């Protein structure tokens, strides 16, 4: 979100505090795993991931793993099967459903068997 504020005239200053409070509320968002899973399932049912070769991405479950920034980890069979446009679609679905407009949201795709270390793909 970009706010135009003038220190000289005071124009736009009245929007500054409400915008900051809204951003603070977005940053403190805690989402139950069941809700994240339901949103993921609905998104996949509405728009299935494309087939890559002879394989299709399969999503097992998703959960919020961090609050600052809001990070959602999606556990699946192979992150390499998910193209960038589908990752953006999933991020958009999560942003819209959880009303995250200004705060950063990270979507981490983890393949089967990954337990620690750096995630395969991070979309910011």
- 6-58 residue pLDDT tens: 888 989 889 888 888 888 888 888 999 999 999 999 999 999 999 888 889 99
Residue 7 inside a domain? The answer is no
Q: How many domains does the chain fold into?
A: 1
Residue 76 inside a domain? The answer is yes
Q: What is the CATH number of the domain that holds 47?
A: 3.30.300.20
* Pairwise CA distance, residues 8 & 39, whole Å: 45
Q: Domain range holding 68?
A: 30-123
pTM above 0.85, yes or no: no
- 44-69 residue pLDDT tens: 999 999 988 888 999 999 999 988 88
What is the structure's pLDDT at 121? 52
* Pairwise CA distance, residues 14 & 82, whole Å: 43
Strands 70-76 and 105-110: parallel
């Amino acid at each position: 979100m970009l706010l135009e504020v003038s220190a000289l005239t005071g124009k736009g200053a009245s929007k500054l505090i409400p915008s900051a409070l809204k951003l603070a509320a977005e940053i403190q968002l805690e989402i139950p795993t069941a809700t994240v899973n339901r949103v993921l399932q609905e998104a996949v049912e509405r728009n299935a991931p494309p087939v890559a070769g002879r394989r299709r991405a399969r999503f097992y479950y998703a959960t919020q793993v961090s609050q600052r920034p809001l990070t959602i980890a999606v556990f699946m069979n192979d992150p390499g099967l998910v193209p960038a446009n589908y990752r953006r679609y999933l991020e958009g679905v999560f942003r819209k459903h959880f009303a995250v407009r200004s705060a950063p949201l990270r979507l981490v795709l983890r393949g089967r068997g990954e337990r620690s270390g750096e995630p395969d793909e991070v979309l910011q």
